[in-house]
Amino acid sequence: MDMEKNNYGHVTLFRISGSLDEENVCDLRLAIVDCIKRKKSCVVLNLSNVDMIDQVSAGYLLECLQMARRKGGDLKLVNPSTFIEQLFRFLGIWHYFEIYITETGAVDAFKRAA
């Protein structure tokens, strides 16, 4: 997994590429938790270049979403693959996430909500 982090005002955008699995998802989780602790609980994950995600990683993303919402923020997903959508639907967590086609759409959704 590769991760790039950018800040857009009060929104933190992570661009993820490669595979998200139980061996590397902790790095992403720690980065998201660090943002939330720093009162930057508006998080966007661009999953356009994620080719695989496992159940453990999906669970960690749901946990991060819940943490962000408890702090008044949210975690929005950009362009997850059909594989990710099917896994999240199978796990029963798809409906918890807001999904966007573009990074701009996800970041702007936070601006509209502010």
pLDDT, tens only, 8-31: 999 999 999 999 999 999 999 999
pLDDT, tens only, 35-80: 999 999 999 999 999 999 999 999 999 999 999 999 999 999 999 9
Query: Under CATH, domain 2-113 is a member of which superfamily?
Result: STAS domain (3.30.750.24)
Domain residue limits, the chain: 2-113
Strands 42-53 and 11-20: parallel
Count of CB atoms within 10 A of residue 70's CB? 10
**What is the pLDDT confidence band of residue 113, given thresholds at 50, 70 and 90?**
confident
Look up residue 12 and give its two tokens.
């933190």
Cα 4 → chain centroid:
12
